[in-house]
Structure 1
Amino acid sequence: MPDTYAYKVRDRGGNLISGTLVADNEGLVLQRLREQGLTPLEVGKQGRGFNIDLTKKKVKLKELSVFSRQFATMINSGLPILRALSILSDQTNNKELARVLGECRMDIEQGSSLSAAIQKHPKVFNNLFVSMVKSGETGGSLDSVLLRLADMIENEVKLRGKIKSAMTYPIAVVALVSLILSGMLLFVVPQFKSIYTQLGGSLPLPTRVLLMVSDVFKKYWYIVIIAVFGGRFFLRRWKATPAGREAIDAFKLRVPVFGSLFHKTALARFAGTLSMLLRSGVPILQALDIVSDTVNNKVISKAVNDVQASVREGESMAKPLGKHKVFPPMVVQMLAVGEETGQVDVMLEKVSMFYNQEVEASVDALTSLIEPLLIAVIGGAVGAAVIALYMPMFNIIKLIK
């Protein structure tokens, strides 16, 4: 049975319009509104409030990659940009992306360029994406630029997925062990304490330490919880400051086991992004500025800023890069060769490919190494607690014999 739906939309002039429509479902409402050239913002059954907020859902990297590849295919086939955006807006399942594409289409209809239109939506299209599209518009190679962006985003998604899979298991295991040890300290150890109190006599040092920790944890457990969440809150606040972010990023590059992985990932991102920008015709100073913003590590970003200052004064890129220990000699030498031969983009692409392969190898190695390592650590921690609990029992048995 048809229902009445309330909606909020923007027309081609950017004006906000509210109204109602009778339809069988929300999808038909959205379809009718878009057929009228309107950009839906909110839709919901009348009387229940707007139960769909089309402005809240984030656009995932995977969705942006699919959009870029499909957009490139349509442009390469000779489809006009406005028609392509209309089709992509209608077929996407992400309401936020549909809204953004609709607004971009309206801006282009009013005389704006594609790059200027997407620049108004930095939460979806970052500075790198905008600059690449702008270079594609200028050079008449928008389809090939969009394909490069799609490849880059897909590689980024793949890389993040590998790192996430490598870190998920140890984090889950550590969390589980923390719960087990907390349960022992709160419920198991106090039972043994009452037994040992009745028996009397002196207890071994490990047992006394374990009982003391249990008493403190049982008495002040709420302080432990407050300390954990409070520490997390202040860490986030500190990370939001420039000094805090730089210190945390520097620590991430040095942290045992995972530091090397983070370092190689950052280097692959730096080289790949800079190579793609230069190959697409983005000016070197602008390319370095974009890389500094998108490399996602303040230590490397600071080094890139130094390189940018050097290039602005007419010097090379390799020399200032070599002053920063975060860049291995191989990267510096490859960049120097690229500058000498006029093939900086090619050399950087090779560096990016090398470190992407290194990341994949590191993830595979970590995956095989972490499991036995965690088993040893967990077994040692739980085993030490159990031995500390039963040591007095062993002493009593010896005395009885």
Structure 2
Amino acid sequence: MPFFAYKGRNARGELMQGVLEGADSGAVAEQLFNTGVTPIDISVTSKVVSASGDDPWWRRLGEKKVSSMDVQLFSRQLYTLLKSGVPIMRGLAGLQESAVSKAFGRVIKDLRESLDSGRELSAAMRRHPEVFSQFYLSMVRVGEMTGRLEEVFLRLFDHLEFDRDMRERVKTATRYPSFVIFAMVAAMVVVNMFVIPSFVKVFEGFHAELPLMTRILIGTSAFTVRYWPALLVALLAGVFGTRAWLATTAGRYRWDKWKLHVPVAGKIILKGTMARFARSFALSSRSGVPIVQALTVVSQTVDNAYLTARVEQMRDGVERGESILRTAAAAGVFTPVVLQMIAVGEESGSLDELMDEIAQMYEREVDYELKTLSAQIEPILIVFLGAMVLVLALGIFLPIWDLGKAALHPK
């Protein structure tokens, strides 16, 4: 939704101004009237309140940005404060003073000022889309509507902790294979640019026909040495072109769909994403969110355009009156065991509990896959390394070997 800059006056006649998100100017005006502010001027703006505030840019160069850990700890602290009966304004003041991150301290300050001007907490957080996700905002809004805000913050803390732990485990498991692949690529570049050209002079002194593999290596090296600027430009163009393509809706959808079919890694991505989906759906359902709205909210947490489309397909089916089991089966991303658990949960009215069980099942599978990831990738890496060594051995050392044999057995 677009953002609107507004000016208005509150009940005391004081001038109020800021930025709000809304479907149109009428919706923004209604928000202002609900908070006791009479709008004077409302205009569309592209400016969004950011965590940087009004500080000069040179002060923010070395400043650490707001991280997911900051939001996670903030959720836990707010839960503790609200549960203890501390007023939210006093609690935010304490969190602002104790904030380790200066950028997040400014965010909390803006939240206090927004609440002081009559806004709801979810509306105040919506002014910082780079800090609070749409799922986070939707859950806070549900907590405000149901009067269970402290419980929602506790569940958000658990959700963010699970999400961060999942991402960290994937990064840890892929660090070693990524390093090996990078080393292989770097070795190929060094061999083509520096090693093979040194052997060319030796081979030219043989005055004999070189083996096919040697001629291929020499030709590849000569092409790389001669046209490396063009190859570098082509590589950069490919990188930026791919990023531009991924920025499109169709490109992102195809890329995310292809990732799920990548050997070894695809099933980990799928199970990790489905664990996040199940956990988010259970959280939304337990918080009292209607199923259609819950599926809309959960689709925003699925970090995959293809799976997001499948969740939205489920939502559309539920809106038409179909059962969750039928829409889940039509989505084609759930295993038969999961579909059976969904059927039991829907029949017994305990879908949130069964979704938690599904999330735990996916988490266990992802944990097992990550533990065995190195064992699954090592054979592939060994094959590629062996092939590269074999090509180099045949191409570089075979002519030298033939020359040695000729010297030992002269005609």
CA distance in 2 between partners of 1:53 and 1:397 (Å): 65
Instruction: Report percent identity of matched pairs.
Output: 35
Using the TM superposition, give the Cα deviation of residue 380 of structure 1 relative to its aligned residue in structure 2, in angstroms: 3.0
CA distance in 2 between partners of 1:166 and 1:199 (Å): 48
Match of residue 212 from structure 1: 219
* Counterpart check, 1:385 vs 2:397: no
| 1:128-139 to 2 correspondences below 5 Å | 128-139=135-146
Match of residue 28 from structure 2: none
CA distance in 2 between partners of 1:116 and 1:224 (Å): 50
Q: How many pairs align?
A: 363
Is the CA contact 1:54–1:99 (under 8 Å) kept in the aligned structure 2? no
Using the TM superposition, give the Cα deviation of residue 316 of structure 1 relative to its aligned residue in structure 2, in angstroms: 0.8
CA distance in 2 between partners of 1:50 and 1:115 (Å): 28
SS of 2:86's equivalent? coil
* Counterpart check, 1:334 vs 2:334: no
Match of residue 255 from structure 1: 262
Residue by residue over 1:181-221, the C-alpha shift from the partner in whole angstroms, topping out at 9 and shown as x without a partner, is 11111111112111111211111111111111111111111
Distance 1:182 1:55, change over 3 A: closer
Choose the corresponding residue for 1:41, options 49, 53, 58: 53
CA distance in 2 between partners of 1:239 and 1:391 (Å): 45
* Counterpart check, 1:199 vs 2:211: no
Choose the corresponding residue for 1:51, options 54, 58, 62: 58
Q: CA RMSD in A?
A: 2.2
Choose the corresponding residue for 1:370, options 371, 374, 377: 377
Match of residue 121 from structure 2: 114
Using the TM superposition, give the Cα deviation of residue 13 of structure 1 relative to its aligned residue in structure 2, in angstroms: 6.8
Match of residue 21 from structure 1: none
Choose the corresponding residue for 2:173, options 163, 166, 170: 166
One-letter identity of the residue aligned with 1:266: T
One-letter identity of the residue aligned with 1:235: T
Using the TM superposition, give the Cα deviation of residue 50 of structure 1 relative to its aligned residue in structure 2, in angstroms: 5.9
CA distance in 1 between partners of 2:313 and 2:165 (Å): 30
One-letter identity of the residue aligned with 1:322: A
| 1:279-358 to 2 correspondences below 5 Å | 279-358=286-365
Is the CA contact 2:314–2:331 (under 8 Å) kept in the aligned structure 1? no
Residue by residue over 1:153-191, the C-alpha shift from the partner in whole angstroms, topping out at 9 and shown as x without a partner, is 011111100111122222222112211111111111112
Using the TM superposition, give the Cα deviation of residue 99 of structure 1 relative to its aligned residue in structure 2, in angstroms: 1.3
Distance 1:317 1:15, change over 3 A: closer
SS of 2:300's equivalent? helix
CA distance in 2 between partners of 1:83 and 1:91 (Å): 13
Residue by residue over 1:332-371, the C-alpha shift from the partner in whole angstroms, topping out at 9 and shown as x without a partner, is 2221221111111111111111111111111110034434
CA distance in 1 between partners of 2:396 and 2:80 (Å): 68
One-letter identity of the residue aligned with 1:265: G
| 1:87-98 to 2 correspondences below 5 Å | 87-98=94-105
Distance 1:146 1:179, change over 3 A: same
TM-score, scaled relative to structure 1: 0.85
Using the TM superposition, give the Cα deviation of residue 93 of structure 1 relative to its aligned residue in structure 2, in angstroms: 1.8
CA distance in 2 between partners of 1:387 and 1:116 (Å): 68
Match of residue 146 from structure 1: 153
Is the CA contact 2:122–2:140 (under 8 Å) kept in the aligned structure 1? yes
SS of 1:294's equivalent? coil
CA distance in 2 between partners of 1:395 and 1:301 (Å): 60
CA distance in 2 between partners of 1:275 and 1:333 (Å): 16
Choose the corresponding residue for 1:99, options 87, 106, 128: 106
Listed as ranges, the gaps of 5+ residues in structure 1 are 1-11, 17-38, 44-48
SS of 2:53's equivalent? strand
CA distance in 1 between partners of 2:362 and 2:246 (Å): 27
SS of 2:372's equivalent? helix
Is the CA contact 2:196–2:221 (under 8 Å) kept in the aligned structure 1? yes
Q: Which runs of 4+ in 1 moved over 4 A?
A: 12-16, 54-57
Distance 1:319 1:186, change over 3 A: same
SS of 2:331's equivalent? coil
CA distance in 2 between partners of 1:267 and 1:237 (Å): 27
CA distance in 2 between partners of 1:40 and 1:165 (Å): 31
Of residues 164-173 and 352-361 in structure 1, the stretch that sits farther from structure 2 once superposed is 164-173
CA distance in 1 between partners of 2:178 and 2:266 (Å): 16
CA distance in 1 between partners of 2:167 and 2:345 (Å): 29
One-letter identity of the residue aligned with 2:163: E
Listed as ranges, the gaps of 5+ residues in structure 2 are 1-13, 19-50
